[in-house]
Chain A
Amino acid sequence: MENLETGLRRTAPLGVFHELHYPCRQLQDLWARFAKSPAGRTAVAAFTRKQIQSCEKERDYGRRDFLSRFMEIHLRSPEKLTEGEVFQVCLTQITAGSDTTAISLRAILYYLYRDPTKLEALRAEISQKMETGELSEPATYQQMIRMPYLQAVIKEALRLHPATGLVLGRVVPPGGSTISGRFFPAGKVVGINTWVAHANEEIFGQDAERFRPERWLCSKEEYARLDRYFMAVSCYLIHPPTT
């Protein structure tokens, strides 16, 4: 096995991991086949495939959901984005997007209901916006980004309970690298755990473990200092307060 391993390591850069992935993939397929319901991924996959086919038939460009957008690219130039790729992107989005969203929703509600004063503060902001007619039902994204306390609540919940709990491992490239004052030779796996980052007391202070949305309602400089070690969402969806 050792020889095969080194052999693979030499012949293909990813060889050794193919070797690991393959049996798992087989087992996962087996597992899916023997699961009680038309199992998880398989069922979602079947549904996705059905929707792709109906989308192909109808050529319904009126709708602007992800599938329509992907199919538009696919039908315009099938070699650029194959149907298999459309399928894979949709499937990845459903698997990766739904559980993380649920975790975050739960965290927001959990922390709000554990601290009635924060819940009251958020309710006050909602009623105030309702009164001035700045909030419709259902509320829109554009309206909600203008609610600083709501944004701070979301951000603080994501800080205390990020949806990923493992070290997001990366392989040190050839030549090695110095990280946090220490030299790591090539091939070592290093990474940061979102939970560890968000619990850092040097950045978030002695009360790093407390749910305190107010910490985000601060000066621009202070916000940037905190945001530097906020790793839950790496995009613009959570806005800095407009102060």
Chain B
Amino acid sequence: MSLPSPAPPLSSLRHAAAAMTARLPFDPDLGHGSFPVRLLLPVCIALAFMARLLYRHLRDPLRDIPGPWLARYTRLWLYLEIRNGRFHTKNIELHRRYGPIVRIAPNEYSIDDPDSIRTIYGHGTKFIKSPWYTASGPPSQHEGVVVSIFSDRNPARHAENRRKVANAYALSALIETERYIDSTMVAFFQHLDHFASSGESFNLGNWLQFYAFDVIGELTVRDFELSCPSALIMSTLKGVLWAHILWIVWETIWVSR
């Protein structure tokens, strides 16, 4: 049988209360049902931000174009779908559901119409590449060159740079490079033979990646060796991927169009 514990002295109670209030995120004296002042600013900013999104949405002449609701307000939807690796199938579903034009981000629309290929990508079109391509550009200035043919958004400069190297991509030139990959091919088949005869299991997907990497490397700068460490390829691709992810995050948070 335990005795009732003696009532704690009043002073220690006061201390405990003081300690508790110190831990509260806002000043309890302002409490009593009224709104904590410290939260006023962030809430106002959030409200203003939302009001602005709503205002922009209502003024958008294309607001009736269907698509996922989240994509109306932010690129986050697009980012998540791409990050989870299911955007391409989701994109097909969206078109099956909504028809030839769907929204995938506040300012971006996916089209499913063969006749529009010419308008958007055709020869002499005035449509320039979207800012998405900037993240695929050279990671930094390599000897003063800041653009690559893939990521260049300036059509005139792109055409000029393309012209400079076009000869190397003529069919006759490509056929001439054919013999340089024979050794890579032989080496690849030897590896496959080895796996086949030893019964060792292996990841064909990875090996095709090594093979393709070596073939392109051999055609481009020669003397590439098979099974360039996989880490190298993966980190290259991850580098590019990260740039895109960072870019989307950056734009989602920072830029309100």
Question: Which residues of chain B are within 8 angstroms of A61 by Cβ–Cβ distance?
Answer: none
Asked if B227 is at the interface (CB within 8 A of a chain A CB), the reply is: no
Q: Pick out which of these stretches binds chain B: A64-72, A117-125, A150-158.
A: A64-72
How many residues of chain A are within 8 Å of chain B by beta carbon?
Answer: 98
A94 to B154, CA, bound (A): 22
Asked if A128 is at the interface (CB within 8 A of a chain B CB), the reply is: no
Looking across the interface, which residue of chain A has its beta carbon closest to that of B138?
Answer: A88
A187-224 CB mask vs B (1 if < 8 Å, else 0) is 11111110111011001000000000000000000000
Query: Which A residues from 82 to 107 make CB contacts under 8 A with B?
Result: 82-85, 87-99, 101-102, 105-106
B146-172 CB mask vs A (1 if < 8 Å, else 0) is 011110011000000100110110010
A87 to B246, CA, bound (A): 26
A109 to B203, CA, bound (A): 13
A-B contact count (CB 8 A): 301
Query: Which A residues from 177 to 193 make CB contacts under 8 A with B?
Result: 177, 179-180, 182, 184-185, 187-193
Q: Quick check: A90 and B220 within 8 Å, CB to CB?
A: yes
A185 to B138, CA, bound (A): 31
Question: Which residues of chain A are within 8 angstroms of B119 by Cβ–Cβ distance?
Answer: 177, 179
A93 to B216, CA, bound (A): 8
Query: Which B residues from 48 to 75 make CB contacts under 8 A with A?
Result: 61-62, 65
Cβ-defined partner of A84 (8 Å) among B143, B180, B242:
B143
Cβ-defined partner of B88 (8 Å) among A14, A99, A174, A193:
A193
Q: Quick check: A188 and B82 within 8 Å, CB to CB?
A: no
Q: In the complex, how many angstroms separate the beta carbon of B242 from the nearest chain A beta carbon?
A: 6
Question: Which residues of chain A are within 8 angstroms of B205 by Cβ–Cβ distance?
Answer: 102, 106
Looking across the interface, which residue of chain B has its beta carbon closest to that of A188?
Answer: B107
Looking across the interface, which residue of chain A has its beta carbon closest to that of B114?
Answer: A229
A18 to B62, CA, bound (A): 27
Q: In the complex, how many angstroms separate the beta carbon of A85 from the nearest chain B beta carbon?
A: 6
Q: Quick check: A94 and B235 within 8 Å, CB to CB?
A: no
Q: Quick check: A189 and B126 within 8 Å, CB to CB?
A: no
Q: Quick check: A64 and B176 within 8 Å, CB to CB?
A: yes
Q: Quick check: B108 and A189 within 8 Å, CB to CB?
A: yes
Question: Which residues of chain B are within 8 angstroms of A80 by Cβ–Cβ distance?
Answer: 164
Query: Which B residues from 88 to 130 make CB contacts under 8 A with A?
Result: 88-89, 91-92, 95, 100-101, 104-105, 107-117, 119-121, 125-130
Q: Quick check: B127 and A184 within 8 Å, CB to CB?
A: no
A106 to B61, CA, bound (A): 43
Asked if B196 is at the interface (CB within 8 A of a chain A CB), the reply is: no
Asked if B27 is at the interface (CB within 8 A of a chain A CB), the reply is: no
Question: Which residues of chain A are within 8 angstroms of B164 by Cβ–Cβ distance?
Answer: 73, 80-81, 85
Asked if A169 is at the interface (CB within 8 A of a chain B CB), the reply is: yes
Asked if A56 is at the interface (CB within 8 A of a chain B CB), the reply is: no
8 contacts between A and B (CB under 8 A): A25-B137, A69-B173, A88-B147, A94-B220, A171-B127, A184-B109, A195-B92, A196-B95
Given contacts A85-B145, A180-B115, 11 further A-B contacts (CB under 8 A): A20-B134, A21-B135, A24-B243, A37-B232, A87-B142, A88-B149, A102-B209, A166-B87, A171-B130, A188-B107, A192-B113
Shortest Cβ-Cβ A-B pairs, 5 listed: A40-B236, A169-B130, A84-B143, A173-B126, A165-B88
Give me the interface of A with B, judged by CB distance under 8 Å.
1-2, 5, 14, 16-17, 20-21, 23-25, 27-29, 31-32, 35-37, 39-41, 43-45, 47-48, 51-52, 63-67, 69-70, 73, 80-85, 87-99, 101-102, 105-106, 109, 138, 140-142, 165-174, 177, 179-180, 182, 184-185, 187-193, 195-197, 199-200, 203, 228-229, 231, 236
Give me the interface of B with A, judged by CB distance under 8 Å.
61-62, 65, 82, 87-89, 91-92, 95, 100-101, 104-105, 107-117, 119-121, 125-132, 134-135, 137-140, 142-145, 147-150, 153-154, 161, 164-165, 167-168, 171, 173-178, 180, 182, 185-186, 204-205, 208-209, 211-213, 215-223, 229, 231-240, 242-243, 246-247, 250-251, 254-256
